[in-house]
């Protein structure tokens, strides 16, 4: 864990205020959900994305490697659908 040097007091209801710098850094806005985890003696917070990382859809989201992907994008990734910007190019044809 990297210490930020910032500290906050816990109030009577167990709440803390996340420093504005941290909220800006992680794009955390009022109403966003945070996953709360534990790693040894540390409490970890992770923003739960409420939109598909590819198209921004808010419905039928499925978690994949801590990111949200909608059902449509999941299906396109599985089938390699070229109509929506996913082009299945053999590695030998790539020009770098």
Q: Which of 61, 68, 70, 76 binds Zn ion (CB under 5 A)?
A: 70
Judged by CB under 5 A, does residue 61 bind Zn ion?
Answer: no
Q: Which of 22, 55, 77, 82 binds Zn ion (CB under 5 A)?
A: 55
Report the 10 Å Cβ neighbour count for 32: 13
Tokens of 32: 């966003």
Judged by CB under 5 A, does residue 50 bind Zn ion?
Answer: no
Using the contact rule CB under 5 A, the part of the chain among 19-27, 59-67, 73-81, 85-93 near Zn ion is 73-81
For the chain, what is the radius of gyration of the CA atoms?
19
Rounded to whole angstroms, how far apart are CA atoms 44 and 93?
Answer: 43
Bridge partners, 35 (sequence order): 46
Q: Which spans of this chain sit near Zn ion (rule: CB under 5 A)?
A: 52, 54-55, 57, 70, 73
């Amino acid at each position: 864990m990297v210490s930020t040097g910032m500290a906050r007091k816990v109030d009577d209801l167990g709440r803390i205020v996340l420093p504005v710098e941290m909220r800006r850094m992680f794009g955390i806005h009022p109403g966003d959900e945070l996953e709360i985890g534990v790693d040894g003696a540390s409490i970890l917070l992770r923003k739960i994305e409420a939109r598909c990382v590819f198209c921004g859809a808010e419905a039928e989201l499925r978690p994949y490697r801590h990111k949200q992907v909608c059902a449509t994008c999941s299906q396109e990734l599985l089938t390699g659908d070229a109509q929506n910007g996913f082009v299945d190019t053999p590695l030998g044809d790539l020009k770098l």
